[in-house]
Each structure stands twice: as structure tokens, then as C-alpha cells.
Amino acid sequence: MALFGRKKKNAAAAKPVQGDERPGQMQTLKDALALTRKEKPLALLLTALVFVVVLVIGIILGSSLHHPVYFGVIFTPLALLVAFFFFTRQANSAAFASIEGQVGAGASVLMSIRRGFTVTPAVNVARNQDMVHRAVGRPGIVLVGEGTHAVRNLVIDEKKKMERFVPGIAITEIYVGNGDGQVSLKKLQKKLKKLPKKLSNGQVRELRTRLKAVGGLQMPIPKGPMPTRMPRAR
């Protein structure tokens, strides 16, 4: 394959497209709380209820064994963990709901992938705001189209362009949406991560360098805490 016919020394990998430096965990948690309160007003109440239910179960179990205080202490961190897991799920749902239907929502989700892919948003855009985003990783080139049914024509055009520019590289087409043959925003990251790996890390670096010159268009990306940026329970 011509692209990978020889190795280049000190080839610099293109950095993933991203905005400002990522905020700390506390700021991310505050953002998630505010967003969840806005999109799912009952989520915080339900989270507190989950904590209480798990704790009460522990106390009842302890009472049956004549150790209610001991089991209450043991179940407190467990109740916190379960409640945090429940809140994370609610925050995930709220994050997706907040950008659903916005221009560039697919790009926002793609760009929140922590590792494995370099994302260039809006490599092809139509007047009606249909658009194609390009992700590069070990599966090769992934073209993600979002918009109306006509976005397929944009994806086909971009695919032909990539086949001319980097021949021999695997190209995968993904369409964002909730219809047949489409991938929802919630499942978009998982879909990319499950794609079969066809390139080595070195080949990916060289491919990114080649495509860096192609670039993309400037476009607004929906802001807000995305699911993969939630702090993890310890």
C-alpha cells in the first residue's frame, strides 16, 4: 500500500480536535448536576431515594441478624456507590437529551471520545446543515453523517475523496439518527469502539499526518458535560 510503503522518522501524530482544556472533576460534577436538574428535574430526588432504599435494606438485614448499626455502617458506602451509579446514568441521559437535535450533536459526541480516535468535524457540509464528520483510528477512517436522508450523498462524496487521497484504507460509514440503519447518539461512541482494528498504531499516526492537511470546516459544537467526562466512583 503506497501510504505505508516506508517508515518516516519523527512523524508527528495529529492531536485530536478539542476545545478548551478539560475542567476538573468537581467542575464537571457541578456541570452535570446543573444539566441533570434542567433536563431531568426528578433525577436528584430519585438518586436520594435510591440511596435511602439501599441503606434501609442494609439496616433491615442487620436487624434480622441483631446488628442494625453494624450493617448500617457497612451499607452506607454501598448505598453511595449505587446512588452515584444511578445518578451517572441519569446524567448521561440528560447530556444526550440536551444536545439532541442540535447542529453538530454527532460531532460533540465523537469529540468526547477519550482515546483511540482523532475527530475532524464538518469535513463536508450542505446548505441545509447536513454534515459529515471524520474519525481516524485503528479501524481506519470512519465517516459519520448526521442530518436528513440526503446526507448519504455527502458521505459518498467524502468517501470517494478519501479513496483518492489515501487509497487502500478501510472506510466505514455511520449515520446518526433513530431510524433503520442509523446509530443513536447514545450508542455512537460504543459503535466506533466496537469496529474491528485494521491498522497498527504507526499506520494510524501516518494516516493522521496525511489527513491533517485536508482539515475540516469551522462549525459550532454543542457545549456541555458529555457522558465520558463524568468523574468515576472510587
The per-residue pLDDT for range 83-131, each reduced to its tens digit, is: 999 998 888 777 777 777 777 788 888 988 878 999 999 899 998 889 9
185, 174 Cβ separation under 8 angstroms: no
Whether pTM exceeds 0.75: no
The number of CA neighbours under 13 Å toward the Cβ of 100 is 15
Q: How far is CA 173 from CA 87, 104, 176, 224, in A?
A: 33, 17, 10, 26
Residue 232 burial (CB count, 10 A): 7
50-86 pLDDT tens trace: 999 999 999 999 999 999 999 999 999 999 999 999 9
Integer Cα distance of 17 and 14 in angstroms: 9
Integer Cα distance of 5 and 167 in angstroms: 12
Q: What is the pLDDT of residue 105?
A: 85
- Please state which of the ranges 9-13, 38-42, 148-152, 227-231 shows the lowest mean pLDDT: 9-13
93-102 pLDDT tens trace: 777 777 777 7
Confidence band for 23, pLDDT divided at 50, 70 and 90: low
Confidence band for 27, pLDDT divided at 50, 70 and 90: confident
The number of CA neighbours under 13 Å toward the Cβ of 197 is 11
143-202 pLDDT tens trace: 999 999 999 999 999 999 999 999 999 999 999 988 888 999 889 999 999 999 999 999
Q: What is the pLDDT of residue 93?
A: 79
Quickly tell me which residue has 433503520 as its cell: 180
Say how far residue 215 (Cα) sits from the centre of its chain: 21
Q: What angle do CA 120, 121, 124 make, to 5 degrees?
A: 105
Quickly tell me which residue has 431510524 as its cell: 179
Q: What is the pLDDT of residue 223?
A: 52
Q: What is the pLDDT of residue 215?
A: 60
